[in-house]
Structure 1
């Protein structure tokens, strides 16, 4: 009892949350790490005696698998092309809804945030109609200017850009709200002083808005990058990784190996390779920020 009295009272307040984190985060991660060194599959699930420890074989097989490199290339394409565009759209929307001349700011923020809270299945149904090669609105609009119809989701060259466009529309509202909060923390006196000095709107944006938004901008960039590396739902719902694996992502590859073919050990190895890639990219961004 005397020992318990000397424990910081704050520990008791955070203990329930820490217990849940350990049970539902750290333990599953540790179990997945252990599985990545085994050949755990549906047979081992039925009979644990068939489980074998194979060391780094899953990782070596993964790095020699052409499908892994296709999925990695597609994921990097999605991150490099979609991430900056998503952040740029979010920043533009934040500047518009936060402008002093904009009326009904709360209404516009709500409307622009609605796609974030809309279920992906509903969004996918609507966007599949928009992308329909014969009856879709996009091809109808292109036809008005004389452009031939495009098979957005059936052409390997257009499938990934189509998913990027949908993902930007679906997710930019979250970053927009964060950037709006960052914009509102910038002191108004800085802009007033800049106006008195004759600074144009572009110079105010370049020398005041961007530098003052740097911490928020870094947070938004890192969160967007991490989310885009975990690309799964969009190709799973829209294309199932096709056509010709042009939209196969690392997340979708893990799902297929783990829950379609029951190669849990192989899928776990892919998950930790993805974790290492995301960690390296995040550390690189933090060093660039410094």
Structure 2
């Protein structure tokens, strides 16, 4: 049974400071963010640049890359659970073909978080790729033609034309990646249940456990507010950096 509500003031917020498991969840979430955001950004931008062409088969490949964004997290988690199986999983089978002993992925605290990051990048790449594609197709082709006349190479065109022209789109994608990173839950819930040894317990997963597992709704709400503040701070920093680049 849930106890009758009573006013606690800031007690739940002060409790967060002494909660070692919240500290573990915060650290894990920051590690996840540090891996997921740059990998998600680079893979989606790279895929968009590869598929920014008018060749006939490109539509099929765009659809192929976008499919993961349409799949349910439950189905995706089940598939990746078997892909990462240390005995029968496809990942370790491929590594074994090259004489490399595959890790125990989801059962090894040193590899579990990386496994979740890989799955997350795969899930989100298609949607962010489409955003970058829209930005790439909005760049005036005359800019590239002028660069060709000046003898610019591919990297120079990317750095001097593509990168600044995509600054606003990049801001949008990075903001979405940051928010998604701090809200990660499905992947940890489906693949590891926060383990092994709390190695993949994230803030949202811990909030879920405290709220629905231990029925500490007030404490879970307090942690949710802290999560909101963290996301807000990152969004403001990102906005400031983007404004400085444009200004």
> What band does the TM-score fall into relative to the shorter chain?
over 0.9
Deviates more, 1:259-268 or 1:145-154: 145-154
SS in 2 for 1:160: helix
Is residue 195–residue 201 contact of structure 2 (8 Å, CA) maintained in 1? yes
Equivalent of 1:286, from 229, 239, 242? 239
Partner in structure 2 of residue 145 of structure 1: 98
* Regions of 4+ moved over 4 Å: none
Equivalent of 2:3, from 15, 30, 43? 43
Partner in structure 1 of residue 83 of structure 2: 130
Partner in structure 2 of residue 210 of structure 1: 163
Rounded Cα–Cα distance in structure 2 between residues aligned with 1:178 and 1:148:
38
Deviation of the 1:131 alpha carbon = 0.6
TM-score scaled by structure 1?
Answer: 0.82
Equivalent of 1:236, from 189, 203, 220? 189
Rounded Cα–Cα distance in structure 2 between residues aligned with 1:177 and 1:149:
33
Equivalent of 1:181, from 123, 134, 146? 134
Equivalent of 1:81, from 13, 35, 48? 35
Rounded Cα–Cα distance in structure 2 between residues aligned with 1:110 and 1:200:
30
Partner in structure 1 of residue 47 of structure 2: 93
SS in 2 for 1:169: helix
1:223 lines up with 2:176 in the alignment? yes
1:56 lines up with 2:10 in the alignment? yes
Rounded Cα–Cα distance in structure 1 between residues aligned with 2:51 and 2:98:
32
Deviation of the 1:103 alpha carbon = 3.4
SS in 1 for 2:106: coil
SS in 2 for 1:42: coil
1:127-180: CA deviation from partner (whole Å, max 9, x where unpaired): 111111111111111112222231100000100000000000011111100000
Deviation of the 1:274 alpha carbon = 0.4
Task: Choose 1 or 2 for highest CA Rg.
Answer: 1
Structure 2 unaligned regions, length at least 5: none
Rounded Cα–Cα distance in structure 1 between residues aligned with 2:56 and 2:118:
28
TM-score scaled by structure 2?
Answer: 0.96
Deviation of the 1:99 alpha carbon = 3.1
Rounded Cα–Cα distance in structure 2 between residues aligned with 1:118 and 1:52:
42
Aligned pairs, how many?
243
Rounded Cα–Cα distance in structure 2 between residues aligned with 1:287 and 1:246:
33
Rounded Cα–Cα distance in structure 2 between residues aligned with 1:106 and 1:55:
56
Deviation of the 1:289 alpha carbon = 1.2
Rounded Cα–Cα distance in structure 1 between residues aligned with 2:50 and 2:14:
50
1:115 lines up with 2:68 in the alignment? yes
Rounded Cα–Cα distance in structure 2 between residues aligned with 1:118 and 1:216:
24
Partner in structure 2 of residue 3 of structure 1: none
Structure 1 unaligned regions, length at least 5: 1-40, 45-50
SS in 2 for 1:231: coil
Is residue 208–residue 220 contact of structure 2 (8 Å, CA) maintained in 1? yes
SS in 2 for 1:247: coil
